């Protein structure tokens, strides 16, 4: 076997100018990741190259979608203990240190995503050149997985661009475009695709002085300034993520504060710190959530359904925002309602969204041009997808379907955004009942990634597959659910919200109720959430669910709605709002009933168990993914069913029984708990 055939991932070519081009094309994989074998092979390549008679080295990717997506996250789940994790990191440090020490110019040539370990590898090169294209994204997203950079990034990025910007990037995990990276100093050049190779050659031929942070940027990392900056960073992280739930950002700040003066020590500590984090439950659960998301993304891959034009009927908040989102994602959209004054607010909101997301006036205008008001409904005949988002009235919806079905293109998808009416009740007016599917978006559409794909008894499975593919096409996460009251997300959320309302009517301060939920890890407490969704909307969903699931709706909710206190939108609900923010009183923690947290969380978990038993979704993972992405359920707990398993189903069921004894039958454990023992 020749030397060359033992390389599967890294391909080397030395051109006539004696420039070495090392190209990563990870074998049998759609994206480049730095798995253990990819790193080992890189090491062999670098060992040979470090002494080679070449003028420079350019590292690039052969994958069209990007440079490198980071370390192989799948391998993180297999790490057995801290010692093994630490050794993995140290091994990688040795390889990147070797690269950094090359005597001739080294260049990372970046297109598409360059994330995590991918960017850390690029940082070990002397120069970075990125393609100036919207698809180019550079970042260190590790904190989102419960860890921090572990391949030397925590040392090299602050050294390159100064600690303030570097720490902010690492602590938020946000990624930046090629141009922003250029402005920050992360890349040396941002050039169009056609100039990439020439730019790399030019840098090797005439190496410029490598980028250095300004004096001011360096000062922020000096021994005197470090504790101050660290305290500031800690305070800003604490606003988003408490340390007991999310230890990684705090570990990163500690690492930098203690060791930034000594790069060698900092590298060793970086490995130790990441090894600790990656084996902890927060990281393991956040990694689980990453893969739940991947599973949901993959659901859309089975269909070759192509969408160019979407027609939305109903320009209310949901219909208007769905239309705007589709136009933002590049589709032609027609938006139908009865009169121009009904369409105007939707177009105004769409303009705001485009301005915020696209920024450049040219792109904003192009998106506005894709979104066409259509009072006569001419788009119906051209659309690949028709989304009905009119008010919740079964007769009106049936009448509409009767009118539009004959005008639709053969094979076009007919979807309803109903949040409460079973598909079986709606499809009767169609000549092909199997073509109706639910696409249940959440409010605000641009923020909530999840879309429930609702299938009724008669829905054609091919139509479900098309709807799922459409959701992916517009970059939403599809969750197939059975048509039943509240589907999955609202059904599981409602007992938790109603328990909060009941607690409030028993005299517990809303601030205490919300704090208990936030302490558990929810992004927002249930009282504030109810106010945000709108108490009238909560009431109507609660009534539908109470009717079909034998529940009761707290009188307090009805009274507030009758008094016109509808929540944030009316300035008053449970809280009073000032400039859209709730005014919260200071309350004493010890005034909370001892079982407050249990009453909220176990109400939610019990309903999750019931949904699993009833087969509302296909399996536990989809339930967990749906609830994390549909409600924000404490991601570091890995989803409700995963949480039940890790806490022990028997233990939680016993606590439910105690609640049923103390507070009533609504807490009676569902029959499904047995299956989780």
Using CB under 6 A as the criterion, which residues of the chain lie in contact with ligand COA when the complex forms? 30-31, 33, 65, 69-74, 113, 115-117, 141-142, 145, 294, 297-298
Q: Which of 492, 528, 534 is nearest to 509 (CA)?
A: 528
Residue 179 · residue 134 · CB < 8 Å:
no
Cβ neighbours, 10 Å, residue 519: 16
Please report how the helices 317-328 and 361-370 are oriented relative to each other, as an axis angle in degrees rounded to 10. Answer: 120
Cβ neighbours, 10 Å, residue 151: 31
For the bound state, the minimum distance from the C-beta of residue 182 to ligand COA, rounded and expressed in Å, comes to: 20
| Strand order across the beta sheet in which 66-68 lies | 66-68, 113-115, 137-139, 175-176
| Residue number, 78 or 586, with CB nearest to ligand COA | 78
For the bound state, the minimum distance from the C-beta of residue 142 to ligand COA, rounded and expressed in Å, comes to: 5
| Residue number, 154 or 417, with CB nearest to ligand COA | 154
| Residue number, 131 or 388, with CB nearest to ligand COA | 131
3-state secondary structure of 606: helix
Vertex 575: Cα angle to 660 and 239 (nearest 5): 90
| Residue number, 147 or 253, with CB nearest to ligand COA | 147
Q: Of the residues 148, 259, 309, 440, which is catalytic?
A: 440
For the bound state, the minimum distance from the C-beta of residue 339 to ligand COA, rounded and expressed in Å, comes to: 40
Collect all residues with Cβ–Cβ distance below 8 Å to 179 and sequence separation of at least 6: 132, 190
End-to-end CA distance of the chain: 54
For the bound state, the minimum distance from the C-beta of residue 73 to ligand COA, rounded and expressed in Å, comes to: 4
| Residue number, 75 or 424, with CB nearest to ligand COA | 75
Cross-strand bridge partners of residue 652? none
Q: What backbone phi and psi angles, to 5 degrees, belong to 249? A: -60, -35
| Residue number, 113 or 673, with CB nearest to ligand COA | 113
Residue 111 a catalytic site member: no
Alpha-carbon span 162 to 166, nearest angstrom? 6
Alpha-carbon span 653 to 673, nearest angstrom? 7
3-state secondary structure of 336: strand
Residue 324 · residue 371 · CB < 8 Å:
yes
Cross-strand bridge partners of residue 452? 440, 479
| Residue number, 477 or 539, with CB nearest to ligand COA | 477
For the bound state, the minimum distance from the C-beta of residue 76 to ligand COA, rounded and expressed in Å, comes to: 7
Alpha-carbon span 597 to 587, nearest angstrom? 16
Collect all residues with Cβ–Cβ distance below 8 Å to 110 and sequence separation of at least 6: 60, 67, 122, 128, 129, 130, 131, 136, 138, 178, 187
For the bound state, the minimum distance from the C-beta of residue 78 to ligand COA, rounded and expressed in Å, comes to: 12
| Residue number, 31 or 366, with CB nearest to ligand COA | 31
For the bound state, the minimum distance from the C-beta of residue 129 to ligand COA, rounded and expressed in Å, comes to: 20
For the bound state, the minimum distance from the C-beta of residue 629 to ligand COA, rounded and expressed in Å, comes to: 14
Active site residues: 440
């Amino acid at each position: 076997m020749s030397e060359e055939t033992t390389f599967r991932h890294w391909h080397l070519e030395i051109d006539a100018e004696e420039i070495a081009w090392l190209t990563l094309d990870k074998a049998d994989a759609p994206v480049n990741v730095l798995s253990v074998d990819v790193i080992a092979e890189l090491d062999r390549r670098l060992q040979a190259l470090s002494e080679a008679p070449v003028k420079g080295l350019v590292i690039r990717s052969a994958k069209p979608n990007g440079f490198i997506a980071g370390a192989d996250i799948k391998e993180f789940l297999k790490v057995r203990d801290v010692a093994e994790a630490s050794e993995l990191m140290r091994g990688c440090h040795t390889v990147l240190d070797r690269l950094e020490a090359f005597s001739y110019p080294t260049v990372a040539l970046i297109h598409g995503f360059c994330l995590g370990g991918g960017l850390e590898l690029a940082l070990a090169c002397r120069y970075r050149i990125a393609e100036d294209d919207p698809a180019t994204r550079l970042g260190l997203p590790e904190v989102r997985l419960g860890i921090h950079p572990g391949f030397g990034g925590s040392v090299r990025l602050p050294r390159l661009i100064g600690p303030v910007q570097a720490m902010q990037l690492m602590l938020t995990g946000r990624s930046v475009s090629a141009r922003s990276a250029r402005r920050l100093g992360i890349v040396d050049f941002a050039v169009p695709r056609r100039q990439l190779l020439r730019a790399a050659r030019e840098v090797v031929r005439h190496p410029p002085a490598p980028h250095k942070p300004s004096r001011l940027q360096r000062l922020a990392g000096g021994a005197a300034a470090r504790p101050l900056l660290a305290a500031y960073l800690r305070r800003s992280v604490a606003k988003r993520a408490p340390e007991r739930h999310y230890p990684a950002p705090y570990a990163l700040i500690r690492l930098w504060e203690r060791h930034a003066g000594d790069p060698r020590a900092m590298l060793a500590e970086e490995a130790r710190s990441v090894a600790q984090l990656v084996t902890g439950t927060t990281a393991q659960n956040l990694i689980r959530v990453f893969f739940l998301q991947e599973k949901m993304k993959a659901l859309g891959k089975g269909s070759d359904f192509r969408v160019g034009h979407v027609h939305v009927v109903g320009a209310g908040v949901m219909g208007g925002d769905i239309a705007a989102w589709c136009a933002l994602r590049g589709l032609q959209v027609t938006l139908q309602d009865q009169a121009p004054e009904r369409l105007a607010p939707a177009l105004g909101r769409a303009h705001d969204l485009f301005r915020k997301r696209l920024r450049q006036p040219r792109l904003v205008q192009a998106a506005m041009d894709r979104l066409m008001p259509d009072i006569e409904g001419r788009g119906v005949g051209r659309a690949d997808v028709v989304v009905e988002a009119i008010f919740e009235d079964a007769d009106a919806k049936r009448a509409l379907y009767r009118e539009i079905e004959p005008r639709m293109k053969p094979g076009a998808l007919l979807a309803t955004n109903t949040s409460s009416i079973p598909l079986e009740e709606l499809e009767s007016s169609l000549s092909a009942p199997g073509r109706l599917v639910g696409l249940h978006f959440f409010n605000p559409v641009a923020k909530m990634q999840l879309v429930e794909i609702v299938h009724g008894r008669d829905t054609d499975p091919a139509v479900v597959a098309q709807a799922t593919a459409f959701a992916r096409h517009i970059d939403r996460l599809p969750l197939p659910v059975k048509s039943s009251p509240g589907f999955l997300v609202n059904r599981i959320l409602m007992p938790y919200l109603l328990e909060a309302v009941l607690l409030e009517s028993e005299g517990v301060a809303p601030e205490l109720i919300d704090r208990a939920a936030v302490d558990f890890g929810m992004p927002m407490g249930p009282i504030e959430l109810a106010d945000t969704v709108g108490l009238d909307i909560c009431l109507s969903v609660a009534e539908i669910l109470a009717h079909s699931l034998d529940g009761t709706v707290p009188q307090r909710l009805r009274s507030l709605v009758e008094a016109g206190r509808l929540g944030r939108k009316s300035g008053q609900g449970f809280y009073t709002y000032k400039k859209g923010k709730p005014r919260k009183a200071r309350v004493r923690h010890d005034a909370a009933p001892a079982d407050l947290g249990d009453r909220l969380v176990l109400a939610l978990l019990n309903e999750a168990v019931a949904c699993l038993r009833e087969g509302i979704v296909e399996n536990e993972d989809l339930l967990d993914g749906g609830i994390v992405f549909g409600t924000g359920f404490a991601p570091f707990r890995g989803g409700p069913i995963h949480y039940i398993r890790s806490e022990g189903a028997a233990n939680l069921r016993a606590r439910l029984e105690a609640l049923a004894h103390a507070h009533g039958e609504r807490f009676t454990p569902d029959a499904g708990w047995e299956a989780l023992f």
